[in-house]
Amino acid sequence: MSNQNLEVLVNTLSAQVVQQGHQIAELQKQLASMQLTSCELDKLISSVKSSSMLNQKLANELMEIEAFKKRL
Per DSSP, the residues of 8-33 read HHHHHHHHHHHHHHHHHHHHHHHHHH
Q: How many domains does the chain have?
A: 1
Task: Give whole-number Cα distances, 57 to 11, 50, 67, in Å.
Answer: 69, 11, 15
Check whether 69 has a pLDDT greater than 80: yes
d(CA 6, CA 20): 21
0.75 exceeded by pTM: no
Q: Which domain holds residue 20?
A: 1-72
Q: Who's near 1: CB < 8 A, 6+ residues apart?
A: 9
pLDDT digits (tens, 9 = 90+) for 33-65: 999 999 999 999 999 999 999 999 999 999 999
